[in-house]
Each structure stands twice: as C-alpha cells, then as structure tokens.
Chains A and B, each alone.
Chain A
C-alpha cells in the first residue's frame, strides 16, 4: 500500500513540475507588471503540450532560432531582449537584421530563412507563441540542453536537412519529458454518457444535429437525481451539450476536409491525429470568443462591458451553431439554470428560498430576451461613442467602424472627383484624399450621412459615463482601437442569436410548459416549495 501511495505522490510531483513550467510562462511579467505572454499564447501552448502536436511549431522555432542567431550566435537577445512577447516588439527586433546576412530576409510579414535547398518563412504573428514554446522548453528541459541541441543552428553554413535534424532532436527531448510528466487524460464520463443518450434518441439525425432542446431537457429530467452520473444541475447538462455541439461541429468539418487522410494515422484502428485534436480543441477555447477577448484587452481600464452585462452575454452562445441548435435551452439556462444556482446557494447558506423560483406572470423568457436586447443596445451605443473618439484621434479603426455603423454611407461624396478613366496611380491619390476628407469631416446633425453619424457619435460620447470614456489617455485610445473589432463581433453575434436563432420559437408555450417541468424536478431535488411555505408561515 505504501508503495502505491509513494508512486502516486511521485506521479503527482512529476505533473506538478510540468504545471510549474507552464505556470512560469503564464506568470512571466513585463517591466510594467503586465503579462509577458498573452493569455491566448499561453492557452495555445497548453494545447500543443497536451495534444503533443508540437512537431510543426518546433520546426518553425528551429528556423527562427537560426535566423535570430545569424548576427552573433546569440538567439537569446532576440527572444528576451524584448519586454513583451508581442508582434510589434518582434517586428522592431528583426528590423535590425536587415542586410545582416543573405540567409535572413526581413519582410513586412516576418522573416524568411533562405537556405540553398529552400526558403522557410516565420511570420511576426507566430513569434510570440514560438517564444513561449522556447521558454517552456528551457523551463522543462534546461537551458544547457536547449543550448547544446540548438548549437548547430548557429553555424554559418546551414542546410534544410540540418535544421530538420535539430528540430527532430528537440522534438525527441520534449517527447521524452512529456512522457514522464504529463498526467493521463481523464475520460470525460459525462460527455460520453450524454453522447450515448443522444445516439439512442437522435433518430435519423447524427452528430451535433442530433442534440436538440428536447434531448437536453429530457436528459436532465432523467438523470438529475441519479448519483452515478453528474447531471444534477441543468446548467451543467446544458454546458455539456454546448461543448459537445462545438466539438462535434468542428470535428465534422475537420474530418470532412482534406485533413482526413493524414499520413500515418490509422483511423480504422481508432488512432486520432494529434493535429486534429488540437484543431478541434481550439474551437472549444472560450478565451477566443468576443466577450473574453474584450475583457482581456480592456481589463478594468475601458468598460465596454460591465460585470452585469458580461454575466448576461455569457449566457448567450457566442460560438456559431449552438444558438441555432439549442435556442430554448439558452433561455432555460439563463432563467432556470440561474434559479437552480440560487437554490443551491440558499441551501448551502441556510437562507430563505423565497422568490428563488420564477413566476409564470413574469413572462420569464420574453423578459429575459428583453434584457439581452437592452444590454446589447448599450454596447452599440458605446461602439458609436468609440467612433467619435477614434475619428477625432484619426485612428484607422474609425473607418471600419463607420463601414459597420453606416454600411450605406455614400463614400463617393468623400472621393470628390470620380473620373472613371483615372489611372491606377491616380486612384491611390484619390483614396488618400478620401481618407483625409473622412477625418476632416465635422459633426452636423442635419448634414450628409457621415456628418450626421458623427453628430450621433458625439452625442453618444458625451452621454457615456464609464471607465475609459472620460478624458481617455493615448493608451486608453489604443485599447479602444484594439477592442473595437471584438465589440463589433459581440454585437453581431448577439444580434444573430436574437434575430435569427430564436426567431420562430413560440415563447408563451415554452414559458408555460417549462415552469411546470422545472418546478417538479427542482422540488424533487430541493423541496423548495415546502421550504417556501415554511418561510411564509
């Protein structure tokens, strides 16, 4: 027995070392105390470690190391001589490499490693992730080991096959480390159980198409009170269904594409290509959704979305496909999922259950939908206010915002003369002129479309009373500009749900139907009506 426990502790210690190495990357800080690596970079690193899909990134890293070593053999100064591992910092760093060696060509998009037997390009966009991978490998394998393995890359004369050899030796070392340190994957029992239930009841429908509103509710009703499967909360079951829809849709796309015939993968024998797993798990990354992105970019500085609105928007499925397949479940989760959570909290705190269950008189779903509409209206107003700020600051994103806020805007008015026979070089001059005219336009309520849009935006700007929207610093303007594409994505996604996904649902019917179903199940779980009656007496 002692031996089993010792082994368990040893295993736990090994995976803790891996956790520690990954935590070092996400905790590494820049000089201002902010993160050195973006959260999305850290998540991508975790994914390739777990999926063991690091072969291609290590190949890219090997070429990048060779490029970074070309000046004096010291790649470290490129990777850590910058404060924050960002696209801009790597771009600036490699600007010093122009004309250093014929082997390295610096372009607008990245660096090209030019070898006698072929070129290899690494984009600036990829570099932050490759830097995180390198730091992780140093933390895991040791600097000495990485230095030894990458030494051939510092040679003046280098061939593609030599780079490949280095990449393979790095891959072997990482494989050996992960073999010892990665804990075995836990089988996701709840998802498998749910999927079997769907397969039995899905009829002719397959994959994500077989998961419907009625199946989610029926599953919860059938298993909420069972101890052998974790299905007590409606929210838990709903989230399982959402995860499965997202993963099944992505898996279907992946296997239907050309990737299905990956060389060396025996599908008949049940083998799964690690690259496929990685691609599908990217679809599950909630951090890539517009709401998470806005929160990551803006932090506490710019309040495009406050915490109440964030709670509301997080109830709406922002991944394509889910809202369309489970329109009623979204509202059930928003109303009764929240209600069940309040019940369990009341039970835990031994407080009153009064008013934790909604009333039919509240028109529960229609009221909830109105709160979503009200919330997104506020976000739209903030987007309009941002247009005023970005236009005044002459930021490029102002043009994109104008195109989205007023798609029918008459751009010809800004072009001035639009002679159809203009030569190409004249067209670019006209375009420059149009941009200048765009920024020079002033707000006028009764002016042309752009002038009146600007007047609306100015009014919106003046009426906003939120963090970051009053006397913004230049850094605040940068944040607004960076966040705007995700703000627009959020607005578009919420509208897609409100106007398309739930368009044909008979809400009065479901309000009446669901209140009975949820009352019965929640009463059987928590006896809340008995508790309410006791509180009343």
Chain B
C-alpha cells in the first residue's frame, strides 16, 4: 500500500485530530472564563454558594457579564430598571406594574432597615430571590423569605451591601 493511500491518509488525519483535541483540552492558563452552568446556578439555585472570587472573575469576564444579564432578564419575574427609585424622607420606593420595593429606616434601631416587597398580582408566582446592582458594579444576590399575602418583609443591617445598593437610586433590581 503506498504511503499516501486513502486508508493511510485517513489514519494520519485522525491521529492529527486526536493530538489536536488533546492539546486543546489542556488550557495553558488558569481557567479565565466562568462556566455558564455556574451563572445559571447563581441566578436560579438558592443553595448555590458562589466561589469567593466570583465577583472578581465576573469583573474580568465581559462575556460572563453579558450572559448573566440575559439570564436574569429571561428568568426574572420583575425588573426594576435604573432610575426607578423615588426617595421620600427616610424611605426609598421602587414601583412597577408588577411590584413595589420599599426600604425604610428602622426607628427603633438606626443601624437597621426594613425591606418590604409587595407583589401586585396575588395569584402570580412569588419571587424567592432579589438581585440588585449599583451602576458600574456587580450583581448582589439575596434569598427572600416566603411571601405571605403577596408580601414579604426582611430586616437588614444599614451597612449590608444589599441595603447600600438599594439605597442608590440608580441601582437596577430583579426579583426572581
């Protein structure tokens, strides 16, 4: 059989492909992308605990940021875009056709705030997580208690990152 017969050429092409696939499976750098499955778990799985460097990884990965934004947009029940918040005295109110979110300072404990969420349609599915992002920063996630009569109230520390993000009028919010 001549060295360049179709059988030989196919065998050699397969050996080359096998070597190339092996080389591609070995990343020379540390993993510098966030798997989509991890972003999905961040949005959808209340039990999921993100790795400690999750925000740093997201900051360094534009594709992951875009993927996460779309995942939130597609999966969420309520979206409150930037500049949807109104401040009146000691409370900040966000309101859409679907829900209201009110952040009120505690009178008894100045270092605490009340987060109240009310869904307008009592028959609609109730959210279980809140995602909030200050302009130019990354998403912060918070699991919510069970809704009763389409309402839920959470007590937060005034210096909690969620409180701080909700305090900023130009923050964006998703309820999932």
Contacts and interface: CB of A to CB of B under 8 A. Distances in A.
A142 B37 contact: no
Interface string A258-284: 000000000100101000111011011
Interface of B: 1-3, 5-29, 31-38, 40-41, 44, 47-48, 63, 66-67, 70-71, 74-75
A49 B31 CA distance: 19
A346 B138 CA distance: 54
Interface in A169-222: 182-183, 185-188, 191-192, 195-196, 199, 202, 206-207, 210
B41 to A, nearest CB: 7
B35 A24 contact: yes
A243 interface: yes
A122 interface: no
Contacts of A135: 35-37
Interface of A: 15-16, 18-28, 31, 36, 42-43, 46-47, 49-51, 74, 76-77, 80-81, 135, 138-139, 142-144, 147, 182-183, 185-188, 191-192, 195-196, 199, 202, 206-207, 210, 243-244, 247-248, 250-252, 254-255, 267, 270, 272, 276-278, 280-281, 283-285
Contacts of B34: 24
Nearest to A46: B21
Contacts of A15: 24
B31 A281 contact: no
B33 A243 contact: no
30 contacts: A19-B24, A19-B25, A22-B24, A23-B33, A24-B31, A24-B35, A26-B25, A46-B24, A47-B18, A50-B24, A74-B74, A80-B40, A139-B63, A142-B66, A143-B36, A143-B67, A185-B19, A188-B12, A199-B3, A202-B1, A207-B7, A247-B14, A251-B8, A255-B7, A276-B10, A277-B13, A278-B17, A280-B10, A280-B13, A281-B14
B25 to A, nearest CB: 5
B38 to A, nearest CB: 7
A277 B17 contact: yes
Given A46-B25, A142-B63, A281 B17 contact: yes
B3 A195 contact: yes
Contact of A199 (B2, B28, B67): B2
B11 A280 contact: yes
Contacts of A27: 31, 35
A42 B35 CA distance: 14
Q: Which applies to chain B's interface (DSSP): helix, strand, loop or mixed?
A: helix
Contact of A16 (B9, B11, B28, B48): B28
A20 B1 contact: no
A188 B37 contact: no
Contacts of B36: 24, 80, 135, 138-139, 143
Given A23-B33, A77-B44, 17 more contacts: A19-B26, A19-B27, A20-B29, A28-B37, A46-B24, A50-B17, A80-B41, A144-B66, A191-B12, A191-B15, A195-B3, A195-B8, A207-B1, A252-B7, A277-B10, A278-B17, A281-B14
A20 B22 CA distance: 13
A402 B35 CA distance: 44
Given A76-B75, A139-B35, A191-B12, A16 B29 contact: yes
A229 to B, nearest CB: 15
A188 B74 CA distance: 47
B27 to A, nearest CB: 4
B13 A43 contact: no
B84 to A, nearest CB: 24
B67 A138 contact: yes
Contacts of B28: 16, 19
